[in-house]
Structure 1
Amino acid sequence: MIRFDAQQVVAAREGNRSALDAVVRAAERPVFNLAVRMLASRADAEDATQEILVKIITNLGSIRDLEAAGAWAFKIACRHLVHERKRGAIEAMQLSFEGFAVDLETGLSPLSDLGLNEIEAKLAIDQVKIGCTLAMLVCLSRELRIAYILCDIFEVTDTEAAEILEIDPAAYRQRLRRARSAVTAFVTRSCGLVSESAPCRCQRRVGQAVRVSRIVKGQSDLQAASRGVPSLDEIRRRIGLLERGRASAALMRSNPEFTSQIGPLAMFMADAKSFVSNPSEKG
């Protein structure tokens, strides 16, 4: 969720540049992390984050309840990603759980064949795991995807999520059940981190990922925050302690918090003095 300082919001609406910068910085990381999980691509998530931040900046003057400004901004982000954002590169692949399961079993090979050093191997495995879990989400429709992300990854309550998405709580819970059922069935059948009997293992997917340029040796497409990424053994240990349905959510939450540098660009595109509505114009 997004948390704003109400006084900074007031100052930003009055044209205070440093206050607006603080507001943008408070929104940037939550918005980007939501966009990454919705679009499964850094480039698409950065574009979407920029679009959303500009919307937030240019509409600050419309906020009526300053204490709820963060929830208002998060609602803008969700609405944009579900209903307005054009289809991204990963979404254009029209992935299904059935097709993705087949893809995961294609080209499995020993990690040792690639001749990677220890650091390169860990980075590659992390990238495969992150890319795979993000692709799983794209197998869901946008409506089911956002329902799953809000509750099982961002841990928003069903009442809060229904309000954010502006739908009836019963409708939200139905979407969440459908999304959970689909994700749980898939990871139980296909993911070796969740099920010992599943065929796929992250380390055995690295070779195929390199061959088709999904990852590049020694490079990370999605930069993580400094707190780091748990090892596969640690993820597997944590998941093993949980019941089946919760294990799927734990797998998704094992991804790191991602970082970006979109805020300054959004500020450039929506200059505070020119675009932020005067507080006196609020309804």
Structure 2
Amino acid sequence: MTHAAPTSPGSPDPGEVALVAEAVAGNPDAVARILRDLQDPIYRLALRMTGRPADAEDATQEILLRVFTRLAMWRGEAKLLTWAYRIGVNHLLNQRRRSPQEAAHLSLDAFGDKLAEGLAADHPGPDAELLATEVRLQCSQAMLQCLTREERVAFVLDDVFGIGSAEAAWILDITPTAHRKRLERARKRLRTFLTSACGLVSEQARCRCTRRIEYAVSTGRINPQRPELATHPVSPGAATAERQMIALHDAAAIFQAHPDYALPGAKRNAVAVLLKSGRFPLLADRTE
């Protein structure tokens, strides 16, 4: 059965067309600007899909190298970031399973059962707020890993990143109707789970972030000396998760309430060095 290809989400931006032409021609400033514009959004996508910063950093490097080696093939059929998302999504949907939840095919029901284990009294001490934030961020990442990859990326693009259905469908190379069906499945599953399990969404739910701290620390899920997500680098001027949580109004807001994570400096520099090494040349000859 043949499906209609998703419609291109936009017309060429003259500024982006000129910038890409300069980069393909070898202008290092243009290459640096494109890298600067793409690296953090691609990292945020990779982090939501893989669940862990180390895996997201590796995936981001691989995606950015793919983007730059194909740069001359960009025809302005979508915004440059949208086009880069399409390359990134294809890579992320096909890489091997890495997160514990995904590798174990953990369902939301099974994850909910795990959340009910080890609930204790509210964690005391001056680090309680920081560690509760870490628990919340880690937990929402784990919830996403319980979705299928197709459901997860549809939810992340549309409900977390705010990309419209037409643009998300183009990124995923499916019809808008197919995208909306995947999105609704993801929304329904997460809404049902959060309403029954998460104290941030429902007062009747048992689980509270402050009551999960002791268990998360004792099992090594979080490191109280080095919280991985609560102290993660963020993009300049990014809204904090705490400010976003003030506007919490539905289940989707749990996943929106992450800061705008930035690709850590070491990996950022590594990508720049690789691009300058000559091992990954830009495609200087555009195919007609």
Q: Corresponding residue for 1:210?
A: 217
Aligned-residue offset at 1:201:
0.1
CA shift for structure 1 position 227 = 3.7
Structure with more relative contact order (C-alpha pairs < 8 Å, separation 6 or more): 1
Post-superposition shift, 1:94? 2.2
Identity %: 34
Structure 1: unaligned runs, 5 residues or longer? none
- Give 2:42's aligned residue: 31
Unaligned runs of 5+ in 2: 1-12
Which whole-Å CA distance do the structure 1 matches of 2:220 and 2:69 have between them? 38
After superposing the two structures, state which structure 1 stretch, 65-74 or 38-47, moved more: 65-74
Q: For 1:135, give the aligned amino acid.
A: A
Aligned to 1:280: 285
- Does the aligned pair in 2 maintain the 1:62–1:277 contact within 8 Å? no
Contact residue 78 and residue 164 of structure 1 kept, 8 A: yes
Q: Which residue of 2 aligns with 1:78?
A: 89
CA distance in 1, matches of 2:258, 2:40: 14
The counterpart of 1:140, out of the listed 147, 151, 156, is 147
SS in 1 for 2:187: helix
The more displaced of 126-135 and 65-74 is 65-74
- Whether the aligned pair in 2 keeps the contact of 1:16 and 1:272 (CA below 8 Å) is no
The alignment's TM-score, normalised by the length of structure 1, stands at 0.87
Report how far residue 259 of structure 1 moved.
1.6
Structure-1 residue corresponding to 2:116: 105
Aligned match for 1:229, one of 233, 241, 254: 241
Please tell me whether the aligned partners of residues 99 and 145 of structure 2 are also in contact (alpha carbons under 8 angstroms). no
Q: What do the CA deviations read for 1:11-70 (whole angstroms, capped 9, x no partner)? A: 211112222111111111101111111111011111111110110111111112287322
The code of the aligned residue for 2:73 comes to S
Q: CA deviation at 1:273?
A: 4.9
Instruction: Tell me the alpha carbon deviations over residues 162-217 of structure 1, each in whole angstroms, 9 at most, x when there is no partner.
Output: 11100111111111111111000000000000000001000000001100111111
1:57-72 matched pairs, under 5 angstroms: 57-65=68-76, 68-72=79-83
Which amino acid in 2 is paired with 1:229?
A: A
What amino acid is aligned across from residue 175 of structure 1 in structure 2? R
State whether structure 2 residue 192 is matched by structure 1 residue 192. Answer: no
1:248 corresponds, among 227, 242, 251, to 251
Q: In structure 1, which of residues 102, 107, 116 is the aligned counterpart of residue 125 of structure 2?
A: 116
Equivalent in 172, 181, 185 of residue 179 of structure 2:
172
Call closer, same or farther: CA 1:99–1:215 in 2, change over 3 Å.
same
CA RMSD of aligned residues (A): 2.1
Shift in CA distance, 5/123, structure 1 to aligned 2, threshold 3 Å: farther
The structure in which a higher percent of residues are helix is 1
Change (3 A) 1:39 1:55: same
Q: Would the alpha carbon gap of residues 188 and 108 (structure 1) be closer, same or farther in structure 2, given more than 3 Å must change? A: same
Secondary structure of 1:116's aligned partner = coil
The question of whether the paired residues in 2 share the 8 Å contact of 1:12 and 1:272 is answered with no
Aligned to 2:247, which of 238, 253, 259?
238
Aligned-pair CA distance for 1:274:
5.2
Distance 2:283 2:170 in 1: 27
Quick one: distance in 2 between partners of 1:86 and 1:21? Answer: 30
